[in-house]
Amino acid sequence: MTSFKIFRGLSTVRRALRHWPLWLCLLALSGCSTGLRLAYNHLDTLATWQIGNLVKLEAPQKAVFKAAFQSLWDWHRQTQLPLYAADLRQLAATVEQEGLDQKSISAFIDKIDHHTETLWRKAEPDVVRLIASLNDAQVEHFLVQQRKDIEKMEAEHRDETPQQRRKRYLKTTAENSDAWLGKLNAAQQARIERNWDENLATLPSPEQRRQENLDEIERLAGLLATRQQPGLDQRLRHFNDAADNDDRKKRDEAMRLDVYALIDASQRKHLHARLLELASDFDKLTTR
């Protein structure tokens, strides 16, 4: 999980299953203040929309989901947002006084992981009950849509050359850092380029990536086939843990840690202001 872009790629199946409340609750970490407050205060509508994109719920399921989400939302606003604000202010103080190093960045990421796990633990029983309530037609529709999404996603970049893929990667990585750090400096840009060059040989081709995703869908189909059997929560957690064990992702995370550790004075000022701004937003959302 990256330090700030923890919602990147949440359209994948496993993250849709595991983090459907999380991306809604922490939308701030990839958006502006106005967008955050507007989105968070309309989470019930956004949650209903997101679930509707995943599976077509029947009326009784919708009622159960609505009640469960409202409870989770109230709990999150009252108990979790103050924790996020405190963590952000602590990180801002570190940025201002000491800058950033691998230790301080890793400590903050550990806090994000802890908050993620806390939220998942709170939501997990309701998520498991919702999955177990799905009928065969709902599951099949869900799986068909996921396969279509994979085909569409892979077709978009199927004809890219390695040089084009490299250019897109460098551009996307720089854009993802811009809101928090501003323009990357030379050392950061070199670190990103080195990450691509060193790991290029291990990257799957578009066709290989397509097949990996389709294979994961088949594993998910096997999991959903057991949705009404005891122990679904444990099987779901095992499925998620296995999907998270990705060496490429770990190497990319190491690169991102290095980028933040290489911030200069101007970037420190920019990051400090953004962290305090986000902490203030969380405070305002807590009181509504």
Q: To 10 degrees, the CA torsion angle through 7, 12, 15, 16? A: 100
Give the model's pLDDT for residue 118.
87
DSSP state at residue 262: T
pLDDT exceeds 70 at position 25: no
What distance in Å separates the CA atoms of residue 188 and residue 204, rounded to the nearest whole number?
25
- How much of the chain exceeds pLDDT 70, in percent? 84
Which residue did the predictor score with more confidence, 246 or 26?
246
Question: Within a 10 A sphere around the Cβ of 163, how many other Cβ atoms?
Answer: 8
**How do the domains of the chain map onto residue ranges?**
13-287
In percent, the amount of the chain with pLDDT more than 90 equals 29
Q: With the CA atoms of 92, 94, 99 and 100 taken in that order, what torsion angle do they form, in degrees rounded to the nearest 10?
A: -90
| Cα 5 from Cα 31, distance rounded (Å) | 10
Phi, psi of 182 (to 5 degrees): 85, -160
Q: Is the dihedral of CA 85, 86, 87, 91 positive or negative?
A: positive
Nearest to 104 by CA among 234, 214, 3, 205: 3
pLDDT of 5 above 50: no
pLDDT confidence of residue 16 = 42
pLDDT of residue 48: 84
Mean pLDDT taken over the chain: 81
Segment 9-36 shows an average pLDDT of: 44
Q: Flag whether pLDDT at 200 surpasses 50.
A: yes
How many whole angstroms separate alpha carbon 47 and alpha carbon 83? 22
Ramachandran class of 119: left when φ > 0, alpha when ψ lies in -120 to 50, beta otherwise: alpha
> Which region among 43-47, 78-82, 89-93, 226-230 has the lowest average model confidence (pLDDT)?
43-47
| Distance in angstroms (rounded) separating the CA atoms of residues 197 and 169 | 11
Mean pLDDT of 190-217: 82
pLDDT for 83 equals 93
Whole-number pLDDT of residue 246? 65
Specify the pLDDT at position 34.
61
Per-residue confidence band for 273, with pLDDT thresholds at 50, 70 and 90: very high
Q: What was the pLDDT predicted at 62? A: 92
Q: What is the pLDDT of residue 10?
A: 30
Q: Is the pLDDT of residue 30 over 70?
A: no
